[in-house]
Amino acid sequence: MTGKYILLAILLFSMISCGKLPKKPEEKPLAKVYDTYLYPSDLESKIPKGISSEDSIHIVRRLVEEWTRERVLLKRAEQYLSFDQKNVDKQIEEYRLSLLTFKYKQILLAQNLDTIVRDEEMQKYYQDYSSNYILDGDVVKVTFIKVPLIAPQLNEVRQWYRSNNLEDLDLLEKYCLNYADRYIIKDNKWYKFTELIEGLPLKVDNPGRFLNYTTNIDVRDSIFNYFIHIYERIPESQISPFELVKDDIRTVILNKRKIEFIQDLENSVYKDGLSRNQVEIY
């Protein structure tokens, strides 16, 4: 950046700070591309208030370079393209119309769309389209404990984590509150097995075969012990449990409602236009 350019940037910052930015044509331009000039007032709205002069200089430098790049490219495009290619009025108008109708639809959607999806509706959709929800990997319900190697009572933990006895599980939960880095105690949620063991010192090449013969896992690394008890499993290629796909189903139902709402809106507006003689087809 030349000294003159820096001086202009500082001048711009001081003008903006004082609220005394000169008006064209008295302003000195910051840049020129062919016969088009960039003035300080063109950048006024893009300079944040209250920033330092140094930051202002950096912002002005970036904005001026962006402007000159765009203008040079625009000029080359104007020189290169034919008259018909440069005639974008029709495209601009089509985009304007599309944008206006899109905004109108979005506002009406926000005001009128029922976004409450009841469990019964999701359950029915799940039953009707369950073949769309096939598992791509085994899912399990577990008790999972991650506890430091230096934690006490690890032998008791080895007994508790395998147990289905409520008293043992209560003791395990109290223990985990004090010592575990992470834990899951029969929370009735489904987990993808490959995601559950990610980061564990456990190499499983074939999860399906591994889970056919394994319900309890006890492994360690240099810092932690990991205990996993698998008490329920659904194999790969079976229908996914409802709980795992519930959110996806809610999204599908809402999207269907949106499509139906838009279609009804378009039909209603069109019929209203016909009835009011606002539409004529020749």
pLDDT, tens only, 193-232: 999 999 999 999 999 999 999 999 999 999 999 999 999 9
- Mean pLDDT, the chain, whole residue set: 88
pLDDT of residue 282: 75
pLDDT at 13 exceeding the cut of 50: no
pLDDT over 70 at 167, yes or no? yes
Quickly state the pLDDT bin for 25 (edges 50, 70, 90). Answer: low
How do strand 139-148 and strand 182-185 relate by DSSP bridges? antiparallel
E-strand ranges in the chain read 31-33, 36-38, 139-148, 182-185, 191-192, 216-220, 224-234
Q: Which range, of 84-98, 164-178, 224-238, 258-272, averages the lowest pLDDT? A: 84-98
Neighbours of 40 (CB within 10 A): 22
pLDDT at 181: 96
What is the mean predicted confidence (pLDDT) over 79-89? 82
Q: Return the domain boundaries, the chain.
A: 3-83, 88-133+242-282, 135-234
Of 244, 247, 267, which Cα lies nearest the Cα of 255? 247
CB-neighbour burial class of residue 6 (10 A; exposed 0-12, middle 13-18, buried 19+): middle
Q: Domain 135-234 belongs to what topology?
A: Chitinase A; domain 3 (3.10.50)
Assess whether pLDDT exceeds 60 at residue 15.
no
Give the pLDDT score at 1. 46
Pairing relation of β-strands 224-234 and 216-220? antiparallel
